[in-house]
Amino acid sequence: MKCTICKHGETRLDVVTVTLQRGEATVIIRGVPGEVCQNCGGHFLSEGVTREILAHADRAVEAGTEVEALSDFPDLTAEDIRACLAFAAERERMLMTVPS
């Protein structure tokens, strides 16, 4: 799909590392499937993946975990990912970055 951030790049299915900050806690989630822009590096996650990540982040914060690794999204299909939505970082008052 066309990147909606830079409006130039094409996104490609890839696995990303998501860093979430919630209050004092930082949670790093590896192995998240998403679409990554080949131009600006911006990435897009499906709504289902976003929900999974937020749920994991909540659990990790409660448990005091800093690094959470996700290896499988059982219900996820390529179609889910292609129906990507921008990650609702601001709505959730979270920051998300992907190390280059």
12 versus 93: smaller Cβ distance to Zn ion: 12
In the structure encoding, which two tokens stand for residue 20, read together? 């979430």
Per rule CB under 5 A, is residue 31 in the interface with Zn ion? no
Candidates 17, 21, 26, 39: give the one binding Zn ion (CB under 5 A): 39
Per rule CB under 5 A, is residue 1 in the interface with Zn ion? no
With beta carbons less than 8 A apart as the criterion, state whether 30 and 51 touch.
no
Residue-by-residue DSSP string for 66-92: SEEE----TT--HHHHHS-B---TTTT
Interface residues toward Zn ion, by CB under 5 A: 3, 5-6, 9, 37, 39-40, 42
